Structure 1
Amino acid sequence: MQTRDQTVAVVRLVVIVACALLLVAAAAASPTAVVAVSETTAAPATPAAGADRGAGAITPRIVGLLPNPVAPDDAGEYVHLSLPPGNWSVDDGEDVVTVQQQRPGPVLVTADPEAPLDPPGGRVVADGLALSNAGERVVLRRGGANGTVVDAVEYGRAPEGERWARDGAPEWRPVGFDPRDTVPLGAANATAFVLPDAPAEPVAAVRGADERVLLAGYTFASQRVTDELVAAHERGVSVRVLLDGAPVGGVSAEQAARLDALVDAGVEVRVIAGPHARFRYHHAKYAVADDAAVVLTENWKPSGTGGGDSRGWGVTLQSSRAADALADLFRGDAGWRDAVRWERYRDDRTFERADAATGSYPTRHPPADVRIERVRLMTAPGNAESAVVAIVDDAGDRVDVLQPTVDDGPMLASLRRAAERGVRVRLLLSGAWYVAEENAAIVAELNRWADAAGVPFEARVADPAGRYGKVHAKGVVADDVALVGSLNWNPTSARENREVVVALEGEAAAGYYRESFTADWRAGRGATSLTDGLPPSVSITAVGAVAAAALFVKRRLTIGGTDENQRGDRDGPVG
């Protein structure tokens, strides 16, 4: 006979599953924008008989294509070649361009030599092919149209404003974007801190700046940070701000008011947006203040740096090398045509009001001055994902990960490998309402796998227990290496967003963040309250139904357009 509590639990189950089915039905009924998958395949380049194979010889090959530039009539299309001396031709089955090469080197074949944005280097041949946006086969031959084929590239529908690069990672990338290498920055003194415990720390370096302040972020709505930037500008500091112009949910009225105030005071504010955008989202969160570099997991708004809600991690590096490296990144990101001045971008736009976080939390984990033995700067797209995987793969003792949520992929796979070789792994995910059920399903699945495999892997959903509002940090501690930055563990963050992460090597920093992690871990749990009280078999059914619905909807939201008005509807960062 059922007890009253079991009856209530079953009723809750019916509501949960019904909501899940409604989500699926709503998603299935909604029109879905179709994105053509652009899988470029390149045939291996084969030198013609008799070609020079000696030291320093160049293999004739197609190294890049821009079939679909953002321009009227696709002005600026090009084929980028690497050629040894000789007579060559390139064709698409309809037109043929001949190239007479006197000395080895790169060649840019384009009918519009002045049109390409950020053109690759090389000798320009002012002739071109009418490359199809829908995809076609481009062939490089020795000699004329009937010559020997030495290389070929076949591509599908070409993304607008993106170029294909042989051996690129990814192969298709926005014009104006080139992945960066990991930057070694040497040793540094630093202040490690967590939020909401230490809201004064993110702006401390700005308050003391005399020469430069460069602030990069995803969203910005903090009156306190606005006041500090204006004060810095008024005392003669060069102040620049770079943000995302189309965050998920749009730009709030509060953010617009803060940015208007900065511009009115004389501060340069730019937002990355529009059809030329190199990144799906400019999601990095950092600041340069003279010779100090601040790297955060949190947004510049009351819930983040203001200490009003989110559990976040941050570090201030007293390092001219770190500051200069981030300043170089800032200049590169703010200096392209997709970085639009705020006063021009905001014309004729309306903004929605949003409630600001007003939570107040105790300082249980105060900041600490630490010595970092070695600092490395990692960025996405480019190197952050592979660097995180390498750091986890190198761990021999324990790995702790704090994330809003995780997708199955290389980073999560590295945690599984670590556990399989005996490393103790703890994964703590957010219990916020918008990811609670999805994270409960992830936690349940991972813990079942760990139990079945007999490996030291445990996952939990965080319970703030009055110490913060929700988990927003993206942090890792692997042995004596701590990772702090904006990188979410999902493919969009790793491969399409601008993200910044610093690897902090040394027992002092690792110990600081692990202590905070452990305190948060102790309050964690293995399931969310929505399924508490359900019989085990029923609970698993509920979690599975909701997780399946969430995954279905999430996959559909990943498909979208490329113009600025659609960016906010595409699969975006948790924050």
Structure 2
Amino acid sequence: MFHRVVLAIILFAAVAPAPIAAAGDHPTETPPDHPDVRIVAAVPDPATPDDSGEFVVVRAPEGTRLTLDDGEQQVTFVAPGGAVAVTSSPTATANLTAHPVVSPGLALANGGETVTLSVDGVVTDRLVYDRSREGERLERRDGAWTWWPRTLPRRPVTTHGPANATLFVLPDSPTIPLETLRSADERLLLAGYVVSSSRVADELVAAHERGVRVEVLVDDAPVGGFPRASARVLDRLVAAGITVHVVGDPHSFHHAKYAVSDDDTLVTTENWKPAGVGGQKSRGWGVVVASPAVATDLAATFADDENLPATHPWERYRIGREFVVTERANGTYPSRVSPRTVHADRIAVIRAPDNAEPAVVSRLDAADRRIDVIQPSVEAGGPFVLALKRAATRGVRVRLLLGSAWYVDDENRELAERLNRWADRTGNPLSVRLARPAGRYGAIHAKGVVADDTIIVGSLNWNRHSAHENREVSVALTDSAAATYYRDVFEADWNASNDGPRPVLVGAAAVAVLVGLAALRRVEFEE
């Protein structure tokens, strides 16, 4: 059995490795006469023979004489107006983009490039990347350069409703996820970070045997290694004839936790493992929405990820792999909170990296009475915490309940003290506590928000990596009864979390291992 520190890191999703591309950090010179002359995007490595079709997208007013320069080549052309793809392979590029094509273009290096855009000899924009990503598009988003799969749609927040929704919490109601899977007659799409529950596998195999189309997506690189328990489950599913795929880059982690069962959609904060949906450890939140529109919406996201170039069949992925032993949760907890079905007016589907950060922040900014948030940990200076402070400043009562497990206790305690001191100093109604399970659950893993009459439930952690790099899925329900249900759950957990003695910390050797790993990469803990 591995040391507890190693087990924790195996069980939790990490924030991304060191970035393989960086762009847009260099200052640009923008003459007043040409503020709209910009580099919009680039595809340096289109995953075609000899990189045929690579291009740079620029935007400029019609008639502007432009020069692109990579230090070795220069191309000059007159802008036809709007955004155009500049390329040396117009026929190949026309199959890769809907932009009008301009030729000739530059030969873009996969190992890194600096491209400048000039008007009359004056640089108006600059693009810099360290290394290309095969089949991906480098584009500006919110003022920063990011890689995005060329074939992957960037979806907006989609709103549906009205519809019935069944609300539940874990570990109190572990039967709800199983019943949702069991109800499928035609299709069953299960997306997760890790799938290692034998009970979940039972339901998937049974569905397949009764003629349901069953497909599964999991992440290809859980932190610390791929769990042996998950490999056994996936081997069993494939042996039964079920389609299983593992998702790699461009999603740093396929961290979403949802299932589409015919016209029902289950979205939860928990992994498909005993500690999560099995009810044997984590405090989690979940929603089952009875809506064909929501089901169709998330089935499309499932298909998007299943068809990515970096997604591979389990049978191919597992060849030559070594799998790691992880600890299995086996706790038992009382069922204090029963599921409740409500009729929600609006159900919004929120996805990362597509739209999650602005979608959540906008809902926090719209609150005018109270906000309750439960998270394992949060990024101290990130946009979510800043939105909470803005809300408190305008008089909204804000409460933030953070995890207190040994691996986040010190960090969360420091943040709680800092935010509570800020609230005391300014007189703003914000309060932060560290969770005390009190025998009601094992650890906080829920990622939930109650903002006035809106609830948000899903896999999104409150840090930049989760919002900008991972595949995450959450739903926002606007309904006063749903808000009351989760506010009551939050209230009970909050009231049980008065300051008590600090939890027992692990030994010095364990701390040394964790510190050493943290020096290599920031870890986002994932039960």
- TM-score strictly above 0.5: yes
Q: Retained in 1: the 8 A contact 2:23–2:145? A: no
* Letter paired with 1:279: H
Of 368, 372, 376, the residue aligned with 2:348 is: 376
Q: How far has the Cα of 1:574 moved from its partner?
A: 2.9
Native 8 Å contact 1:403 1:475 kept in 2: yes
Q: How far has the Cα of 1:233 moved from its partner?
A: 1.1
Matched positions, count: 500
Letter of the 1:272 counterpart: V
2:22 and 2:524 mapped to 1: Cα distance?
19
* Root mean square deviation, CA, Å: 3.2
Distance between the aligned counterparts of 1:397 and 1:347, measured in 2?
A: 54
Q: Does 2:41 align with 1:64? A: yes
Q: Alpha-carbon deviations, 1:208-230, whole Å to 9, x = none?
A: 11111111111110111111111
CA contact (8 A) 2:66 2:117 kept: no
User: Does the CA-based 8 Å contact 2:139-2:148 persist in structure 1?
Assistant: no
- Cα 1:412–1:552, aligned 2, differ >3 Å: closer, same or farther? farther
Change in CA separation of 1:377 and 1:202 when aligned onto 2, cut-off 3 Å: same
With 432-441 and 520-529 compared, the bigger mean Cα shift is at: 520-529
Corresponding residue of 2:57: 80
1:521 aligns with 2:494: yes
Mark the CA change 1:525 to 1:68 in structure 2 (over 3 Å): closer, same or farther: farther
Preserved CA contact (<8 Å) 1:40 1:153: no
CA distance in 1, matches of 2:499, 2:59: 56
> Paired residue for 1:206?
181
- Contact conserved, 1:88 with 1:100, CA < 8 A, in 2? yes
Deviation at 1:107, TM superposition (A): 3.6
Corresponding residue number in structure 1 for 2:73: 95
Does residue 192 of the first structure (1) align with residue 192 of the second (2)?
no
Q: 1: CA distance between counterparts of 2:217 and 2:95?
A: 21
Structure 1, unpaired ranges of 5+ = 1-31, 49-58, 142-146, 533-548, 559-569
Matches within 5 A, 1:221-300: 221-273=196-248, 277-300=249-272
2:108 corresponds to 1:131? yes
* Aligned partner of residue 155 in structure 2, secondary structure: coil
State the distance in 2 between where 1:520 and 1:329 align. 33
2-side partners of 1:347 and 1:303: how far apart? 28
What is residue 510 of structure 1 aligned with on the other side? 483
Query: Is 2:406 the counterpart of 1:406?
Result: no
1:119 lines up with 2:96 in the alignment: yes
* Structure 2 residue 125 is matched with structure 1 residue 152: yes
**Does 2:470 correspond to 1:497?**
yes
Paired with 1:372 and 1:68, the residues of 2 have a C-alpha distance of 45
The SS at the match of 1:240 is: strand
Q: For 1:400, what is the secondary structure of its paired residue?
A: strand
Name the CA shift for 1:550/1:74 in 2 (closer, same or farther; >3 Å).
farther
**Is residue 87 of structure 2 the alignment partner of residue 110 of structure 1?**
yes
The offset of 1:89, in angstroms, is 5.1
Deviation at 1:86, TM superposition (A): 8.4
- Give, in angstroms, the shift of residue 181 of structure 1: 0.9
Contact 1:381–1:498 (CA<8 Å) still a contact in 2?
A: yes
How far apart, CA to CA, are the structure 1 residues paired with 2:268 and 2:250? 22
Question: % of aligned pairs identical?
Answer: 46
Change in CA separation of 1:165 and 1:33 when aligned onto 2, cut-off 3 Å: closer
**2:333 is equivalent to residue 356 of structure 1:** no
Q: CA deviation at 1:331?
A: 0.8
Asked if residue 163 in structure 1 is aligned to residue 137 in structure 2, the reply is: yes
Equivalent AA in structure 1 for residue 211 of structure 2 = G
1:380-459 aligned at under 5 Å gives the runs 380-408=352-380, 409-459=382-432
Secondary structure in structure 2 of the residue aligned to 1:344: helix
Deviation at 1:355, TM superposition (A): 2.2
Q: 1:468 Cα deviation (Å)?
A: 0.7
Q: Structure 1 169/89 Cα, relative in aligned 2: closer, same or farther at 3 Å?
A: closer
User: Match of 2:162, SS?
Assistant: strand
Structure 1 residues 371 and 69: CA distance shift in structure 2, 3 A:
same
Change (3 A) 1:241 1:229: same
Structure 1 residues 35 and 335, CA, compared in 2 at 3 Å: closer, same or farther?
closer
Per-residue CA deviation, residues 24-47 of structure 1 (Å, 9 max, x unaligned), is xxxxxxxx9786743356655887
In the alignment, is the contact (CA less than 8 A) between 2:94 and 2:101 conserved in 1? no
| CA offset digits 1:220-278 (Å, max 9, x no partner) | 101111111111111111111111110112211110010011111111111112xxx11
Question: What does the per-residue CA deviation read over 1:294-326, in whole Å, with 9 as the maximum and x for residues that have no partner?
Answer: 000000000000111100000000011111111
Structure 1 residue 417: deviation in Å? 1.4
Q: Which residue of 2 aligns with 1:175?
A: 149
The question of 1:308 aligning with 2:280 is answered: yes
Q: Secondary structure at the match of 2:357?
A: helix
Q: CA 1:179–1:44 in structure 2 vs 1: closer, same or farther (change >3 Å)?
A: farther
After TM superposition, the score normalised by the length of structure 2 is 0.86
Distance in 2 of aligned mates of 1:338 and 1:64 = 21
Q: Which amino acid aligns with 2:207?
A: A
Q: Which amino acid in the other structure matches residue 212 of structure 1?
A: R
C-alpha distance in 2 between matches for 1:292 and 1:526? 40
Letter in 2 for 1:182: V
Deviations 1:189-215 (A, max 9, x none): 011000010001112222111111111
> How far apart are residue 118 of structure 1 and its match?
8.5
Give, in whole Å, the separation in 1 of the partners of 2:470 and 2:494.
Answer: 29
Q: Which moved more, 1:164-173 or 1:374-383?
A: 164-173
1:321 aligns to 2:293 (yes or no): yes
Q: What is the Cα deviation at residue 92 of structure 1?
A: 2.5
Which region of structure 1 is more displaced relative to structure 2, 83-92 or 166-175?
83-92
Q: 1:169 offset after TM fit, Å? A: 6.3
Determine the C-alpha separation between the residues in 2 that align with 1:364 and 1:501: 24
Contact 1:425–1:457 (8 Å) recurs in 2 = yes
Look up the equivalent residue of 1:428 and give its one-letter code: L
Q: What is the letter of the counterpart of residue 345 of structure 1?
A: Y
Residues 228 and 374 (structure 1), Cα distance of their counterparts in 2 relative to 1, 3 Å cut? same
| Residue of structure 1 in register with 2:12 after alignment | none
How has the CA–CA distance of structure 1 residues 36 and 119 changed in structure 2, closer, same or farther, with 3 Å as cutoff?
A: closer
Shift in alpha-carbon separation, 1:551–1:388, aligned structure 2, 3 A:
farther
Q: Where do 5+ consecutive residues of structure 2 fail to align?
A: 1-16, 506-511
Q: Distance in 2 between matches of 1:573 and 1:160?
A: 27
What does the per-residue CA deviation read over 1:137-157, in whole Å, with 9 as the maximum and x for residues that have no partner? 32255xxxxx56685324253
Query: Is the 8 Å Cα contact of residues 308 and 359 (structure 1) preserved in structure 2?
Result: yes
